Amino acid sequence: MRTPLIAGNWKMNKTLDEALAFARYLGEHAPKNGVETLICAPAPLLYSLADALAGTRVALGAQNMHHEAQGAFTGEISAAMIKDTGATYVILGHSERRQLFGETDASVNRKTICALKEGLTPILCCGESLEEREADRTTEVIKAQVISGLHGIAEADVTKVVIAYEPIWAIGTGKTASSADANEVCAAIRGIISDLYSDKAAESLRILYGGSVNTDTVKGLMAEADIDGALVGGASLAAESFHSLTTF
C-alpha cells in the first residue's frame, strides 16, 4: 500500500515571516488522515520551518543540493546540511534546474545517489517538453530520464525514491495533463521500474504528478491507479489552498 503524498514546491518564494504564518495555519488545520504532506522550501527557511512544523504531521524538504558531500562549491548546499536542518526530502532534477541551471541526467543521478547515502528521500523529477510530446516522444524521453536518474541504485534503495512526473508544458501554465494522460505516463514509469528492478519494487515506489495541480484537479488525479500524489507549485503557496489540496 503506497501512502499518498501531497508535496508543495515553494520554488523561490516566501520570506521567513510568510513561511512561519503558513506553518501556523498548518498547525491549526491537520491534513487528512493517511495522507503524507510535505513542504519543499528555500534553503534559508529550513531550520526555522523545521521548528515551526514540529508536531504538525507536515514533513519538510529542500529543492536542490550538490552532488558532492563538501568542498569548494560556492553557493551550494550539501545533503548533510539539508539533513541537519531537520528536512527529510529533497527535490532533484526539477525541469527548472535542468533548463535554467544546466543540470543533466548525469548530475541528477549523482545527486540522487548522494541524497540516498545521507538518508534523505529524493524526489526525482522527469518530464517532457511540449515539442517532445507533440513528436510522440514522451515515453522515450521519460524512460531515458528515469533510467539515467536511477543508474547504479540498488533495488533496496530504489523504493526509497519518489519519482515526480512533471510535463514541462504543464508547469506554471494552467494547463494540467488530464488525469488519464498523467496516469498513462505514471503507469509507464512504473513499468520502467518493473523492467529495471522487479514488480515488487514498482509496486512500492511512489509516483507523483506535477504541473498546474490545483484544488479542482487534485481529486481526479488522486483517483488514478498509478498516481500516488502531487508535486504542487503555485497552488501550494497559500496555506488555505495547500491545506485543501491535502484533504482531497
Ligand X SMILES: O=C(CO)COP(=O)(O)O
| Cell 523529477 -> residue | 125
Element (H, E) at 229: strand 229-232
Q: Which is nearer to ligand X, 194 or 215 (CB)?
A: 215
Minimum CB separation from ligand X for residue 73, in Å?
24
94 catalytic per annotation: yes
Does the protein bind ligand X through residue 210 (CB under 6 A)?
yes
18 catalytic per annotation: no
Which residue out of 94, 96, 118, 224 is catalytically annotated? Answer: 94
Element (H, E) at 165: strand 162-165
Q: Which is nearer to ligand X, 193 or 232 (CB)?
A: 232
Does the protein bind ligand X through residue 229 (CB under 6 A)?
no
Q: Which is nearer to ligand X, 171 or 221 (CB)?
A: 171
Burial of 40 (0-12, 13-18, 19+ CB in 10 A): buried
Distances (CA, A) of 7 to 43, 73, 137, 198: 16, 28, 27, 26
- Subset of residues 90 to 109 that bind ligand X, contact rule: CB under 6 A: 94
Minimum CB separation from ligand X for residue 226, in Å?
18
Which residues make Cβ contacts (< 8 Å) with residue 82, sequence separation at least 6?
43, 46, 62, 65, 90, 118, 120
Residue showing the smallest CB distance to ligand X in the complex = 233
**Residue numbers belonging to the annotated binding site for substrate:** 9-11, 172, 212, 233-234
- Subset of residues 153 to 192 that bind ligand X, contact rule: CB under 6 A: 166, 171-172
* Interface segment toward ligand X; rule CB under 6 A; list 25-33, 104-112, 217-225, 233-241: 233-241
What single string gives the DSSP state of each residue in 170-188? GTTSS-PPPHHHHHHHHHH
Q: Which is nearer to ligand X, 142 or 201 (CB)?
A: 142
Backbone angles phi, psi at 233, to 5 degrees: -95, -95
**Alpha carbon 158 to chain centroid distance?**
15
Does the protein bind ligand X through residue 149 (CB under 6 A)?
no
Distance CA 82, CA 64 (A): 9
41, 211, 224, 242: residue in contact with ligand X (rule CB under 6 A): 211
* Interface segment toward ligand X; rule CB under 6 A; list 44-52, 112-120, 155-163, 208-216: 208-216
Distance CA 216, CA 18 (A): 25
- Subset of residues 19 to 78 that bind ligand X, contact rule: CB under 6 A: none
Q: Which residues bind ligand X (CB under 6 A)?
A: 9, 94, 166, 171-172, 210-213, 231-235
- Which of the residues are catalytic? 94, 166
